Amino acid sequence: MPYEFNSSDLDASMLYMEKQFTSCAVTNRKYEWEAMQYMCGAIQYGGKITQELDRELFGTYTYLWIREEIFNPSFQFNQQSLDFNYVIPDFPDHQSYIQYIGSMPQSDNPLMFGLNSNADLTAALSASKNLLQVLVDTQPSDAGGAGAKSPEQVVKDMIENDFLKLLPDDFKMVEVVDRITAMTNRKLNAPNGMEIPLNIFLFQEIQRFQRILQIVRSAMKNMCLAIDGQIIMSPELVGGIKLMFDLRVPQPWLYDPSGAEISWLNPTLSGWLGSMVNREYQLRTWLMKDRPVSFWLTGFFNPQGFLTSVRQEICRAHKADKWALDAMVMKSIVAPPKNTLIADDARIEGKQIPEPAEGVWIHGLYLEGAAWHKAGGYLEDMKGKDLFYSFPNITISADCPSANQGPGARNKQG
Whether residue 127 is contained in a domain is answered as no
- pLDDT score at 343: 45
Is the residue at 267 inside a domain? yes
pLDDT at residue 347, rounded to an integer: 39
Q: Are residues 220 and 328 in the same domain?
A: no
> Which among 292, 327, 336 has a CA at the least distance from the CA of 198?
292
In angstroms, rounded to a whole number, what is the distance separating the alpha carbons of residues 360 and 185? 13
Tell me, yes or no, whether 81 lies in a domain: yes
Within a domain: 128: no
What CATH number does the domain containing 282 carry?
1.20.1270
- Are residues 174 and 286 both part of a single domain? yes
Domain co-membership, 85 together with 167: no
Query: Where is the domain boundary, 118, 142, 166?
Result: 118
Q: Do residue 31 and residue 97 come from a single domain?
A: yes
Q: According to the model, what pLDDT value does residue 339 have? A: 57
Q: Which of 244, 275, 291 is the last residue of a domain?
A: 291
pTM of the model: 0.76
Given a contact cutoff of 8 angstroms between Cβ atoms, the answer to whether 247 and 266 are in contact is no
Is 159 a member of any domain? Answer: yes
Instruction: Give domain status of residue 181, yes or no.
Output: yes
DSSP 199-238: HHHHHHHHHHHHHHHHHHHHHHHHHHHHHHTSS---HHHH
What domain count does the chain have?
Answer: 3
Q: Could you tell me the residue range of the domain that residue 75 belongs to?
A: 7-118
CB-based contacts of 346-354 (< 8 A; 24+ apart in sequence): 346/278, 346/279, 346/281, 346/282, 346/296, 346/299, 347/278, 347/281, 349/293, 350/292, 350/293, 350/294, 351/293, 353/293
In terms of domains, do 190 and 234 share one?
yes
pLDDT given for residue 184 in this prediction: 82
Q: Say which amino acid occupies 295.
A: F
CATH number for the domain that contains residue 48: 1.10.8.720
The helix (run of H) or strand (run of E) holding residue 401 is helix 401-404
What gap in Å lies between CA 243 and CA 254, rounded to an integer? 13
374 falls within a domain: yes
Same domain, 190 and 269: yes
- Across the chain, which has 414 residues, the per-10-residue mean pLDDT values are 90 94 93 93 92 92 92 87 88 94 90 84 88 82 61 93 94 95 80 89 97 96 94 93 92 93 92 95 93 92 95 90 89 78 44 73 89 89 83 91 60 39
Annotate 159-198 with b (16+ C-beta within 10 A) or e (fewer): beeebeeeeeeebeeeebeebbeebebeebebeebeebbb
